[in-house]
Each structure stands twice: as C-alpha cells, then as structure tokens.
Chain A
Amino acid sequence: MAVKEVKDYDLFVLSGTLSITAAPLTYYGQTINNNPWTVATPNDFRQKIYKALITNTGSSAATVTISATNGTTTYTLAQISVPAGATESISEEDYSIVATAGYYFTASISTGSGYINALAYFSPG
C-alpha cells in the first residue's frame, strides 16, 4: 500500500485538560451518556497524532508527557517542554506519536495545569 496521505476528512480532534495525573485525551469534547469518550485504536488500525497544540497555563515551565495506554500498560511517547503561559505546536514531522490496536492516548503535565488539542487520524495496519 502506498504511503498514506492524510486528508482533511480523515482527521479528528482529541483534547484534554492537563494535570499532574495522566488523563485520557477524549474525542472532540463529545460526551456520550456523560462518559468521557476515549478513542481506543481498533484492530487493524494505528492511531497517530498529526498536529497538536499544547498550552501551559501555569506560572512555571513544565514538561508535558504524551503516552499511550491500554489500561494496564503505558508507554511514554513524547515529552515536550512548554514555558509558562506559552503554547507549543508539534506535528508528526517532529514527533511520531502512534498508538497501536487497543491503546489510547493520555497526557499529563509535570507541574501546574494546561490543556492540549490534537488532530489525530487512523491509518490501517
């Protein structure tokens, strides 16, 4: 299969509020039956972050960690330093952030608080 080219209609938004405790990135603020909606990667697919904006709303510099977990096993995929009050932009050219089947993304911040908005997509295999 040819290298996948991401089209606009393939992308979906993941977002999350950052705190010291890792929390799942949920699908575009959707709340279904009042449960946060975690996008776990289905079989035969990989889930990849295409671009992400990470904002540190705290008063000191912090490191944001993006991980993939299946609930029992967690892998750290990227650690991004964000100055106080700043927003960092990352893309898949900088960081390859991929969750394989059964895994979903989580994020945490080393200190303070912030938020993350990411565009992600599924690719087969």
Chain B
Amino acid sequence: MDLLKENYILGLSFAPGKYAFYRVTRSNVFPLVYNFQTELSVNSLNPYGQSYTGYSSYYLNIQNLGLPQSEVNTPVTDMFKIDRDNEIWQIFYGIAPSYLRVLPVQPPSSAPIYHLDQSITPSQSFIKIGFDGFASPFDEPSDKTEAYVLAGLSIGFVLINPVTIPITPKLKFIINRMIVEPITDPNIARAILDGKVPAHIVTIGSAENDLSSNINWVHYPKSMIFNVTSGKMSSEVKG
C-alpha cells in the first residue's frame, strides 16, 4: 500500500488536463473491519445465480456503509460521508472470504467504476469483473483497491458471490485520514505536472466521468482547479 504521509502531494485528476493538488499536513492510518452482517444486517449472500429465502441476493449493491452502533452511540448512516473541512481519505480494502468479488461504486448511486462501458453492469454472463480476496487479501489489502473519499463524494460497493455456497462478506478497510491544504501556486502545479515535483496523482471515479461537481468544495476552502489544454494552464478557484 502506498500510504500518503505528511508533506506528500496528492493530485486529483477529474478529467483529462483537469487537476487539483493538495499537500498532506496531517494523517492518521487505522484499520476498520466491516462485517456487512453485523453492521447492515445483510444476510449471507446467496450462492451464485441462485435465490433462496432467508439469504441476500448473490449480487448486492450497497450504497451507504452504516455503523449502527458507533462509539458515540449515534448511528452513522454512511461512514464515508465527510463533513469536516480539508479532509480527504485514502482507503484500501481487503476482502473476505477470498472468493467474494467487490466492485467500488463512486458516487455510490452510479454504476461500478470497473467496467468497460456504462451499459455493462455485472450479470451472470459478465461476472469476472471486480477484485476478489485473492487479488486483495483480507489481511493485506492491495494497491488495486485504492480509492479516495472526499466531502460530497462517498463510496459504495457491489458485492458478488461467485461460488455455490452462501458467503458472509467482510471487508478490512485501511483508512488514511488526511488533513490537506490546497496548492494554489500555478508554478508548483506546473512543476508537478512536468514531473519535477513528486506527487501521487489519482483518477477520481471512473475514467470517463468528471466527478468534480459532486465534491462539496465548501469543505476545501481556497482549492484551485488547474486546467491544462495544449500545454497552456488556466485555473479556477473552488471552495
């Protein structure tokens, strides 16, 4: 896992040539085991392609990961809902049992990220998409599952049971809660894009969707979006 640490630079890519940059000022990393059965009362997933009463569908789209019994006794409807200023969470997740397949969905109400075309969604004939616990073991989450959560841009998951016994899904999240400050100097932005200043630049959401309008920029005061077209750079202030 490539965890971002203090003073690292995070670049968010929203569209070709459209970036926002942040410097990490503070960070805490912690694991969180999420058991869908205990937290969301999701029954074990049905065997693949079968449907028996008392079990959840073998294919399940979960938009909000709630925490009904949080430490402060206040139910949390979506643990990935950020409502504080200047926070970005970098997350990874390990998958159990290993044959469970997981697709991230961002924003949670949309189609899964890992697909070839918007019209293709998981089905019985197209089940091999997504990562399973062999690709991202429960105890050792893989880089492949890296995702970012921002204010206004939560994340959901599609769970698929591809095998013929019911399974009880669990994910182990590694959450890197970062406090960031925006980079507003276009010279630094240019240097980052030229590769002169090291930065971790990531695509937000799926490759074809610009999710910048989903982000609640009020929580990222003084953020700057840099637009690069034909080598020329312009900027707009957000937040």
Contact = CB atoms under 8 A, between A and B. Distances in A.
Q: Do A and B come from one complex?
A: yes
Contact of B134 (A39, A40, A124): A124
Contact of B139 (A7, A30, A39, A44): A7
A42 B162 contact: yes
Interface residues of A, number: 19
B97 interface: yes
Contact of B96 (A9, A33, A122): A9
B94 to A, nearest CB: 10
B138 interface: yes
Question: Interface on chain B toward A: helix, strand, loop, or mixed SS?
Answer: loop
B139 A45 contact: no
Contacts of A12: 165
Contacts of A39: 164-165
Given A7-B138, A9-B97, A9-B170, A32 B52 contact: yes
A32 B46 CA distance: 11
B15 to A, nearest CB: 35
Given A7-B139, A32-B52, A42 B96 contact: no
Nearest to A11: B97
A70 B171 CA distance: 33
B165 A45 contact: no
B61 interface: no
Chain B residues touching A, range: 10 to 19
A30 B166 CA distance: 10
B139 A33 contact: no
B99 A124 contact: yes
A42 B49 CA distance: 11
B104 to A, nearest CB: 21
Nearest to A43: B162
A122 B162 CA distance: 11
B217 interface: no
A7 B170 CA distance: 13
Contacts of A40: 164
Contacts of B48: 42
Given A4-B134, A32-B52, A33-B52, A10 B97 contact: yes
Interface in A92-125: 122, 124
A12 B137 CA distance: 18
A35 to B, nearest CB: 10
Given A4-B134, A39-B164, A124-B134, A45 B52 contact: no
Sort A-B residue pairs by CB-CB distance and give the 3 closest, nearest first. A9-B96, A32-B52, A9-B97
Given A7-B96, A42-B163, 4 more contacts: A7-B139, A9-B96, A9-B97, A124-B134
